[in-house]
Chains A and B, each alone.
Chain A
Amino acid sequence: MNHAETNQREPVIRVQNLTKRFGSQPVLQGITLDIHHGEIMVVMGGSGCGKSTFLRHLIGSIAPDNGNIYLFGRDITTLSEDALTEIRKRFGILFQSGALINSLTVGENVALPLREHTQLDATTIEIMVKIKLELVGLREHADKMPAQLSGGMKKRAGLARAIALDPQILFYDEPSAGLDPVTSAQIDQLIIALTRKLDVTSVVVTHEMDSAFTIADRMCMLDKGVVLKIGSRSEFQRLREAAADELKDENEQLIRQFLRGDADGPITRRKERSDYEEDLMMVQTRADA
């Protein structure tokens, strides 16, 4: 892929200063990020740091408090419901849980977007469904109900459904979480193959580091609702392999700990510095009063 060329084109996804709070809890605090055509962007961050929430904003399922989100150059935060529907036909999403429609068979789930959004006749749809299911290795399970599938199979079925309409963007929420190493590696290869073959742009949320480093073109690290670092895979690779005392910057040390999955580091120290003791004292004080 020619990076010089892709970078000149307008980004497929542009997020500007995205903020969101749930009640009094700030979740996203000003996220700015460009994602270019044909790349795989991996978004990482600790559990509960707002990755799924970020993804939900990108697909227009929650509205931000502030900021703009451009998909294909159009600001989805200001679009009408009908215009948003048109945009939604151009991307696919794999949810963390698969999110299959439980009352339909696997095959029907994959057929659903085709039946609704295309003029294809039933035979063609059936063939398309078979092709998509074969891609994820589930062709012989087309007639099963989602409840009869394992977690990994649900995810793969969800992926088949996400690619049913040949989308230009694919969003993945934790595609390999809870899968065995082999299936997880297969999903990784599938993500790479789909991105390259179908010429789609992929956004993958994950905290499986091996998977992240296998698939990523670029990576983005979220922490406490802000972007800590955006960079190429090799930049992150350098941080991951650096010696502990080599990195002076606190943020870089923090990223290093996250990438390596070390038990000791700035993330852990941050927790220790928290107001844990004070909190315990408060309970005591209140009980005394």
Chain B
Amino acid sequence: MAVYKRTYRGYSGAITPSWSRFLVLFRFSRETLFRSKVQTAFFVLCFFFPLLCLLGIYANAHLSVFSFLGRRSEPLLNINGQFFFTYLTVQSTLSFILAAFIGPGLVSPDLANGALTLYLCRPLSRTEYVLGKMSVLVIVLSWITWVPGLLLFAVQASLSGWQWLADNLWIATGIVWGSFIWILILSLLSLALSAWVKWRIAAGGLLLATFWVGAGFAQAINAVLRTKQGYLLDVGNLVAAIWHGLFRDGVNMGFSVTEAWIALLAFCGFCLLLLMRKVKANEVIR
């Protein structure tokens, strides 16, 4: 009998349930995530604007306090769909930059160091790997988008009463949905880029370029072909169109929300395809 057979005993303790196993990857990444000081500082900075909004909402509700100063008591701010649209625009820009910092470092080092194969040797499927890596971005970006957004909404609701809440519940849905769409797109794109571009930094640059050059080319299409459909190539614009729909502020981007959805789905599908092709190449056939 081989020696190892006599002495080797496999691990038989408790294991993470398979449904939540992908979160193991999040726990791995969490440790390295905030090691960079610049990154941490930037993350903290992302809470500045929500704080400002909170002050605005608060001041708005207690305007009566200031009325003795002789000011007219018309509302300082209109807390409506447009207010939250602005909130989301600012926060999404910040989350875009944050994603450009974090995203590329997720898959590319695994590919460069051959760790992907090691991961997939474990009882961890391709999908779970992608989910796990994506959860890092989703969780971190959630913290600066819809979580404070909902908080703001809750504060406003508590200040304005049940009627306001009942009338404006769609805003809350808009915040959550709007954020999730953006986060999903950012994470898919940055994971796909990070899987194809081994050099971490170049992947970050490419993420920026995808948005900038995409926006520029969209404008070029509009100018040359005398259309507005070019914006369908501009991911930022697509998401903005969907947000306008969600927040019901009646702004028309020149194409319908349905078109925007189709274009976005196609874009996400393409990213997923890119990502899966690269991950699949490293899978160990069991």
Please say whether chains A and B are actual partners in one complex.
no
B residues apposed to A, CB below 8 Å: none
User: Which residues of A line the B interface, CB within 8 A?
Assistant: none
